[in-house]
Structure 1
């Protein structure tokens, strides 16, 4: 399979993604939140670009909805949750709809809507995602959410980890950027030591969100693969 990376939501070319499998990565923290919420029993996650859309969805929905997300890493006024995956516990989200809007992650998800299939990836479920990709055996583009439209070290090394997993005992056609991500991961397997210099890591640390950072950098603790389809994210079936 051919493997490639898009470095931020601002760099998405919708035409390029047509007929491809996409994995959206925003490990700090949107895709970690989505994966955690679904793993803890929420019915689905519905991503929106704007705060207003999120409020409107809850207002017009008869099912119980919880609002989560952030702007500039901070909780949105009137929302139930911030963008901390640790808040989305089973006792709060089970059998409910989680509506989410974030600065970078939900933009990347919506921007990838022309792809054939869109999966949600993070360090937490990287192995599960790559096992699914091996089964599908089609060209894959890893769409990194980035930070405010710019390259993000954390999303990049997460993509590198998945590319490394996909390359075990298999020859794939890697773009230059995919090869670089794989190389960086394989030479920096201690994720925190690498991404501690990332701008977004520093922002979260300054907000005393070290527990989020510790959680989001854990590898392969969740075995589900979320999929974005028809405006909703649910656990994928294969």
Structure 2
């Protein structure tokens, strides 16, 4: 199995994704939100790139819809939820469709549609993602959403953890890493306390400034669920 990493949504090359399995990671916080929404029983998630499209889809559907997302890490005016996974509670979203737009994560998802499969990955479901990748048995491209088009430490170390899970299960002789994938793996193996490591990250500091401390604790937890959402025909499902 070959593993490569794309450092942000701005660096996705659609032609390189063909016949590959993509894992999209935006652990702070879009993909953590999506996984959590399914933990708490949502029906499906529709990921879009613009606020206008999210609102239009919401207006075209029935009342079983939740609008969620952010711009510049802040809740969008008129939406039900921000980009905090802790807001997507069972009481609010069970059996509902979540329509979601974020600055980076949903753009990375929509930019990866040329892949054979798109899995939604985060720290909270990393081992389960690795197991699913082994079942699919294709070469893997880990797409980091990044922050404002740039490299983001949080997504990178999460990809390193998923790569570590693959190496541990398959054996390192069965995994062929690109230079950047090897770097992500090395980074994770030398910084397994994710929360502590990320305190130096720009995006982490932004979350602290905005008071999202509880989100950071939650999103840096490892393997709290076996749920692996996947993109399928314009919707994310399990």
TM-score w.r.t. the length of structure 1 is: 0.98
Which residue pairs with 1:137 in the alignment?
137
Matched residue count: 235
Please state how far the C-alpha of 1:63 moved relative to its aligned partner: 5.1
Write out aligned runs for 1:7-156 (5 A): 7-62=7-62, 64-156=64-156
Output the CA distance in 2 between the equivalents of 1:187 and 1:100.
Answer: 34
Q: SS state of the match for residue 52, structure 2?
A: helix
Alignment RMSD: 0.7
What residue ranges of structure 2 are gaps of 5+ in the alignment? none
Equivalents in 2 of 1:43, 1:147: separation in Å?
Answer: 28
CA distance in 1, matches of 2:225, 2:72: 27
Give SS of 1:70's match: strand
CA distance in 2, matches of 1:54, 1:70: 12
Q: Which runs of 5+ in 1 are unaligned?
A: none
Deviations 1:81-134 (A, max 9, x none): 000000001111001000000000000000001000000000000011001111
CA distance in 2, matches of 1:63, 1:207: 31
Q: 1:193 — aligned with what?
A: 196
After TM superposition, give the deviation of residue 193 of structure 1 in Å.
Answer: 1.4
1:62 Cα deviation (Å)? 2.6
CA distance in 2, matches of 1:227, 1:135: 14
- Provide the secondary structure at the position in 2 that maps to 1:124: helix
How much does 1:148 deviate? Answer: 0.3
TM (normalized to structure 2)? Answer: 0.98
Other structure's SS at 1:222 match: coil
Once residues 226 and 89 of structure 1 are traced to their aligned partners in structure 2, the CA distance between those partners, rounded to angstroms, is: 17
Q: Is the 8 A contact 1:63 1:97 kept in 2?
A: no
Match of 2:181 among 172, 175, 178: 178
The ranges of structure 1 where at least 4 consecutive aligned residues each deviate by more than 3 angstroms after the TM superposition are none
Residue of structure 2 in register with 1:6 after alignment: 6
Higher share in helix: 2
In structure 2, how many angstroms separate the alpha carbons of the residues matched to 1:122 and 1:147?
Answer: 15
Secondary structure of the 1:125 match is helix
Secondary structure in 2 aligned to 1:150? coil
